[in-house]
C-alpha cells in the first residue's frame, strides 16, 4: 500500500498515522511545476484523480520521480491532458470523486482523460456546481459520504447515496480561511477512513462519529490535533 501525501503535512500527524497504519509506504509529494494557489499546489487531489484502488489519472505537472515510484509499485497510470490552472475552476480538473459506481464533479471543467476513463468503466456521472468535489467529500465506504456542500449533498441523496450534511469550518488549510473535510481524509483498501486530525475539533463531531458507527466503518484519527486539509491522502493498493 502506497500513501501519497502533500510533503508539507506536519510530522506530528504522520508520526501518529505511521504508528496506527502498518505496512504502508508513505511518499511525500511536491509539485514545483504546479501553477495553482500556494495553499494547494502540492495537494494530491489537485493533480490526481483516483479511478480505483490501484489506478489514477495524473496531471502533466506530476514529476517523473513520483510516476516511476507508482509504476514500480504496479499502479495503473493514465496520463491526463491538461495541467491544473492558476485559479479556480481551472485548478479543479482532476478533483472529481468516485463513490461506488458514481463520479461527482463539475464536468464543465474535468480533464478529458478523466472523462475517458470514467466512460471506459461505464461509471455514472453526477454533475454538481462544485469543482473541488474531492476536497468537499469525505468518503465513508463505497456508498456513503460526508460533505458541507449543499449541492453535492442534494445530488448524493437524489442518486441513492447515504449522505451526512455537516456545517463548514473546523478544518484548517494553511493560507486560507478554512479547509475542506474531504481534503483532510483518505481511505484504506480495508475500508477504514483516515482523518488528519481529531474530530473533536469539528462542530458536528457527534454527528460524524455516529454516522461512521452506523455505516460500520472504522475511523483512524490523529488524536489531539486540529483537522488539517492536506488535499487528501492518495491511498493506492499495490
pLDDT at 124: 98
Helix or strand run (H / E) with residue 207: helix 205-215
- pTM reported for the whole predicted model: 0.96
Measure the N-to-C terminal CA separation of the chain; round to a whole number of Å: 5
Q: How many alpha carbons fall within 13 Å on the CB side of residue 23?
A: 7
pLDDT band per the 50, 70, 90 thresholds, residue 218? very high
Listed in order, strand segments (DSSP E) in 34-75 are 48-52, 55-58
- Per-residue pLDDT for 174 more than 90? no
> Tell me: the pLDDT tens digits for 25-65?
999 999 988 999 999 999 999 999 999 999 999 999 999 99
Q: What is the CATH number of domain 2-233?
A: 3.75.10.10
The values of phi and psi at residue 103, to 5°, are: -125, 125
- Per-residue pLDDT for 169 more than 90? no
- Per-residue pLDDT for 175 more than 90? no
Q: What are the residues facing 97 on neighbouring strands?
A: 104
pLDDT at 198: 98
- Per-residue pLDDT for 238 more than 90? no
Amino acid at each position: 500500500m502506497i500513501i501519497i501525501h502533500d510533503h508539507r503535512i506536519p510530522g506530528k500527524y504522520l508520526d501518529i498515522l505511521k504508528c496506527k497504519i502498518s505496512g504502508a509506504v508513505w511518499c511525500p509529494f511536491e509539485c514545483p511545476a504546479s501553477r495553482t494557489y500556494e495553499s494547494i499546489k502540492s495537494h494530491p487531489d489537485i493533480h490526481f484523480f483516483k479511478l480505483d484502488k490501484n489506478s489514477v489519472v495524473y496531471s502533466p505537472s506530476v514529476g517523473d520521480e513520483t510516476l516511476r515510484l507508482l509504476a514500480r509499485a504496479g499502479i495503473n497510470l493514465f496520463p491526463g491532458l491538461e495541467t491544473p490552472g492558476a485559479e479556480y475552476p481551472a485548478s479543479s480538473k482532476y478533483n472529481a470523486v468516485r463513490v461506488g459506481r458514481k463520479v461527482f464533479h463539475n464536468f464543465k471543467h474535468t480533464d478529458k482523460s478523466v472523462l475517458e476513463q470514467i466512460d471506459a468503466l461505464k461509471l455514472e456521472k453526477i454533475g454538481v456546481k462544485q469543482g473541488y468535489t474531492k476536497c468537499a467529500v469525505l468518503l465513508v465506504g463505497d456508498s456513503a459520504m460526508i460533505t458541507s456542500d449543499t449541492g453535492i449533498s442534494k445530488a448524493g441523496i437524489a442518486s441513492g447515496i447515504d449522505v451526512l450534511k455537516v456545517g463548514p469550518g473546523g478544518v484548517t488549510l494553511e493560507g486560507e480561511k478554512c479547509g475542506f473535510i474531504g481534503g483532510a481524509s483518505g481511505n484504506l483498501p480495508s475500508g477504514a477512513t483516515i482523518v488528519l486530525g481529531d474530530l473533536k475539533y469539528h462542530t458536528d463531531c457527534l454527528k460524524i462519529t455516529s454516522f461512521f458507527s452506523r455505516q460500520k466503518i472504522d475511523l483512524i484519527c490523529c488524536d489531539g490535533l486540529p483537522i488539517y486539509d492536506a488535499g487528501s491522502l492518495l491511498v493506492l493498493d499495490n
